[in-house]
Amino acid sequence: MSAVPTIRQLLVRPRLCSIGLNSSSSPFLSYALSLHCCPSSLRVLSSSSSPTLTHEEADGSVGKGSSLIDVNPPRGTRDFPPDDMRLRSWLFQNFREVSRILSFEEVDFPVLESEALFIRKAGEEITQQLYNFEDKGGRRVVLRPEITPSLARLVIKQGKSVSLPLKWFTIGQCWRYERMTRGRRREHYQWNMDIFGVSKVRAEAELIQAVVLLFERLGIKSSDVGIRVSSRKVLQAVLQMYAIPENLFTQVCVIVDKLGKITREEMEKELVSLGVSIKAVNGIIEVLSLKSLSKLEEVLGSEGEAVSELKKLFSLAESYGYADWICFDASVVRGLAYYTGIVFEAFDRQGKLRAICGGGRYDRLLSTFGSDDIPACGFGFGDAVIVELLKEKALLPDLSHKVDDIVFPLDEVLDGTASSIASSLRKKGRSVDLVEDKRLKWVFKHAERIGASRLILVGNSEWERGAVRVKNLSTREEFEVKIDELD
Ligand code: HAM
The whole-angstrom separation of Cα 113 and Cα 131 is: 11
Q: If you average pLDDT over residues 294-306, what whole number do you get?
A: 94
Instruction: Please name the residues in contact with 453: beta carbons below 8 A apart, sequence gap of 6 or more.
Output: 404, 405, 472, 473, 474
Residue nearest to atom 26 of ligand 1 (CA): 380
Is the model's pLDDT at 456 over the cut of 60?
yes
Confidence of residue 9 (pLDDT cuts 50, 70, 90): low
Closest atom, ligand 1, to C-alpha of 194:
33
- Are 331 and 259 in contact by the 8 Å Cβ rule? The answer is yes
Percentage of the chain beyond pLDDT 90 is: 82
Instruction: Convert the pLDDT of each residue in 174-203 to its tens digit.
Output: 999 998 888 899 999 999 999 999 999 999
Instruction: Convert the pLDDT of each residue in 379-414 to its tens digit.
Output: 999 999 999 999 999 999 999 889 999 999 999 999
Instruction: Convert the pLDDT of each residue in 116-158 to its tens digit.
Output: 999 999 999 999 999 999 999 999 999 999 999 999 999 999 9
Does ligand 1 come within 6 angstroms of the Cβ of 384? Answer: yes
Nearest-CA neighbor of 265 among 274, 278, 251, 246?
278
CA 129 / ligand 1 centre spacing (Å): 13
The whole-angstrom separation of Cα 342 and Cα 361 is: 6
Could you count the other beta carbons within 10 Å of the beta carbon of residue 71? 7
What is residue 40's predicted lDDT score, i.e. its pLDDT?
32
Average pLDDT, the chain: 88
Could you count the other beta carbons within 10 Å of the beta carbon of residue 275? 12
The whole-angstrom separation of Cα 450 and Cα 405 is: 10
What is residue 24's predicted lDDT score, i.e. its pLDDT?
33
What is residue 20's predicted lDDT score, i.e. its pLDDT?
32
Is the model's pLDDT at 373 over the cut of 50?
yes
Stated pTM of the model: 0.87
The string over 103-139, giving b where at least 16 C-beta atoms fall within 10 Å of a residue's C-beta and e elsewhere, is ebeebeeebebbeebbebebbbebbeebbbeeeeeee
What is residue 6's predicted lDDT score, i.e. its pLDDT?
59
CA 12 / ligand 1 centre spacing (Å): 58
What is residue 259's predicted lDDT score, i.e. its pLDDT?
86
The string over 13-36, giving b where at least 16 C-beta atoms fall within 10 Å of a residue's C-beta and e elsewhere, is eebbebbbbebeebeebeebbebb
Distance of alpha carbon 376 from the chain centroid = 24
Of residues 476 and 64, which shows the higher confidence score? 476
Write out the H or E segment, with its range, that includes residue 210. Answer: helix 202-217
Does ligand 1 come within 6 angstroms of the Cβ of 127? Answer: no
CA 174 / ligand 1 centre spacing (Å): 9
- Are 406 and 446 in contact by the 8 Å Cβ rule? The answer is yes
Q: What are phi and psi of 454, to 5 degrees?
A: -135, 150
Is the model's pLDDT at 258 over the cut of 50?
yes
Instruction: Convert the pLDDT of each residue in 25-43 to its tens digit.
Output: 333 333 333 333 333 332 2
Nearest-CA neighbor of 3 among 487, 482, 480?
480
The whole-angstrom separation of Cα 90 and Cα 20 is: 46
Closest atom, ligand 1, to C-alpha of 355:
10
What is residue 55's predicted lDDT score, i.e. its pLDDT?
46
Pocket test for ligand 1, best of 127, 147, 188 (most atoms within 8 A of CB): 188
What is residue 265's predicted lDDT score, i.e. its pLDDT?
92
CA 194 / ligand 1 centre spacing (Å): 13
What is residue 226's predicted lDDT score, i.e. its pLDDT?
98
- Are 379 and 193 in contact by the 8 Å Cβ rule? The answer is yes
Handedness of CA 42, 45, 47, 50 (dihedral sign): positive
CA 1 / ligand 1 centre spacing (Å): 63
The whole-angstrom separation of Cα 424 and Cα 22 is: 30
Is the model's pLDDT at 23 over the cut of 90?
no
Q: What share of the chain is helix, strand, coil (3-state, %, to 5)?
A: 45, 20, 40
What is residue 34's predicted lDDT score, i.e. its pLDDT?
31
Q: Which of 43-52, 300-309, 420-429 shows the lowest mean pLDDT across its residues?
A: 43-52
What is residue 89's predicted lDDT score, i.e. its pLDDT?
98
What is residue 28's predicted lDDT score, i.e. its pLDDT?
32
Residue nearest to atom 15 of ligand 1 (CA): 382
Closest atom, ligand 1, to C-alpha of 345:
10
Closest atom, ligand 1, to C-alpha of 192:
30
Is the model's pLDDT at 77 over the cut of 50?
yes
- Are 460 and 414 in contact by the 8 Å Cβ rule? The answer is yes
Confidence of residue 11 (pLDDT cuts 50, 70, 90): low
